[in-house]
Amino acid sequence: MNFVSWAFIILFLVVLAARLTIGRRKTEPAYEGVLIVAGAVFYAWHVPVFLLILLASTSVDYWAALLLFRTPDHQRTRRLLILLVSLGTNLGLLGVFKYGDLALRAVGDMAEFFQLGPRPGTLGWVLPIGISFYTFEAMSYTIDVYRKELPPLRSFPRFFLFISFFPHLVAGPIVRAGQFLPQISRPRRLAWPVVSEGVWLLTTGFFLKMVCADNIAQYVDAYWPRGYAADTDATMAGWLALMFSAQIFADFAGYSNIGRGAAFLLGYRLPVNFNAPYIAGSFKGFWERWHITLSQWLRDYLYRPLGGNRAGQRRTYANLMLVMLLGGLWHGAAFRFVAWGGIHGAALALERLFGLHRSPPRGRHWLVTLLWFGVVQVVVLVAWVFFRSETVANGVQFVANLIEFDFRMPERIMLSSGLFVLPIVVHHGWSAVEERGYVRPPGPMFRAALVGAMLLAIATLSTSPSAFIYFQF
């Protein structure tokens, strides 16, 4: 089951009907129970046994938080051991399912190189969908309790509701306990502003996914191998890179909007995950706009504990590189993701070295700002090439075709595909002028007209759905 399926539509409508009919305050146990059951059904739809993994890891985190609360501060070793059990369980499950085969392949390569014996087999296990997302959510809860920034939740059903809430269960946004748990006991009424915002988010989400991302995916999937063919010109390679950058934004931002819209109509507010990332004037700004909840998680639970930028320049650059390498590895057990993370890590370090990360750019010549914006967007585009390519070698050949500057006349497919990229360009352009105060945010009538236009496009231009890119993570 995914957001672009009839099964999800039916499940969502059933839960929405429960919201409209059960209780007056919508904090009654019956409504919470419906949400828990819906999350379990949603997660167990394809591989029911994976629900047991979710229950097991959730149970460990729940009891670990209670034990941390009951353990006095002076018993530091005991508190640390409890935290390590929780983190070890989460990271252990993630490591076995996501990185087990990569580790076995590495061991096999070493055994073959040193002639130590036959290569070991691989696990071949199916990756539980969303495990990277709910693992980070559960870890943040235990760490926050350990830091005494959050009291433990005594109700296991409510804690399981936090982890299994289906609008964010399998693809984010990465919601923290401090953001979600207070909403469970908050009375909620279905007022018109709630309906309006929820419908707006759902419509924009389905439009980005079904009209933009899925149509662009047909071009990318069909022509991507040409990007690293030896005779490919820079025009084709550049077009493919631009197409994928548009696809992954529309795919992930669209899915995030659907999740946020569904949650909003059910009475819960999820954090914003995307904010026009391709208008960022710095790499720091890009990561403040792209997959915002992941960026904030890495900052608060990895970068700052490592020392952040408080331990000298060299340590800061090392921290940036390490965090982005691990962030790349989080996306998948392949060296192409590590290369993608390494590119961003190096870019963030160089940007800080030259002081170009500061915003607003006070005292900086406008031409420097403009040129750096171009550098940022080109490097982001190149990094996407490695993210999408099957191997690092393919990515290198793809980039080599780009920088040969062998431009030829665009092919017809390049022009026809622009129809599905245009809304993304308009969205980023509008966001840029709106942030600078040149235009006002869309009013109710404008939004209503846009919703109508997007619904018409969904009905007439949607194509065969492509797999959600971030399901593999």
Mean pLDDT of 443-471: 87
Determine whether 292 is exposed, middle or buried from the number of CB atoms within 10 Å of its CB (0-12, 13-18, 19+): buried
Q: Total structural domains in the chain?
A: 2
My answer on whether 168 and 249 are in the same domain is no
User: Looking at residue 191, what is its pLDDT?
Assistant: 84
User: Which pLDDT does position 409 carry in this prediction?
Assistant: 66
Residue 115: pLDDT band by 50, 70, 90 thresholds?
low
Long-range contacts of 363-369 (CB under 8 A, 24+ apart): 369/281
Same domain, 154 and 271: no
How confident is the model at residue 473, as a pLDDT?
59
Structural domain for 74, as ranges: 6-189
Query: Which of 140, 168, 189 lies at the terminal end of a domain, its last residue?
Result: 189
Ranges 174-178, 410-414, 459-463: which has the least confidence:
410-414
159 plus 90 within the same structural domain:
yes
Judge if 33 and 83 occupy the same domain. yes
Find out whether 207 and 458 touch, Cβ atoms under 8 Å.
Answer: yes
- pLDDT value, residue 170: 78
* Nearest residue to 38 (alpha-carbon basis) of 64, 59, 19: 19
Residue 88 is assigned to a structural domain of this protein = yes
Tell me what pLDDT residue 96 has. Answer: 84
pLDDT at 118: 64
- Cβ 98 vs Cβ 333: under 8 Å: yes
pLDDT average, residue stretch 76-102: 88
For residues 171-175, give the mean pLDDT.
85
Structure-token match 């997007």, residue found: 454
102 and 243 belong to one structural domain? no
pLDDT digits (tens, 9 = 90+) for 183-234: 988 887 778 888 999 999 999 999 999 999 999 999 999 999 988 988 888 8
The better pLDDT of the pair 242, 45 is held by 242
Domain boundary among 161, 189, 217: 189
Cβ contact 436:286 at 8 Å? no
- Tens of pLDDT, residue by residue over 235-279, are 899 999 999 999 999 999 999 999 999 999 999 999 999 999 999
Residue predicted with more confidence, 6 or 468: 6
Residue 416 has pLDDT above 90, yes or no: no
- Pick the last residue of a domain from 189, 204, 220: 189
Backbone φ and ψ for 440, nearest 5 degrees, come out as -90, 155
| Same-domain pairing of 161 and 249 | no
Determine, yes or no, domain membership for 338: no
pLDDT of the residue at 263: 95
Which of 281-290, 382-391, 396-405 shows the lowest per-residue confidence on average (mean pLDDT)?
A: 396-405
Q: Assign 364 a pLDDT band (cuts: 50, 70, 90).
A: confident
Is 106 found in the same domain as 181?
yes
Which positions are catalytic?
A: 331
Q: What percent of the chain has pLDDT over 90?
A: 62
Q: Please choose, from the candidates 398, 277, 435, the residue with its C-alpha nearest in 3D space to the C-alpha of residue 344.
A: 277
| 77 and 204, same domain (yes or no) | no
Q: What is the mean pLDDT of the chain?
A: 89
pLDDT of residue 6: 85
Q: What is the mean pLDDT of residues 121-125?
A: 66
Work out the pLDDT band at 464, boundaries 50, 70, 90.
confident
Mean pLDDT value of segment 118-134: 74
pLDDT category at 339 given cuts 50, 70, 90 is very high
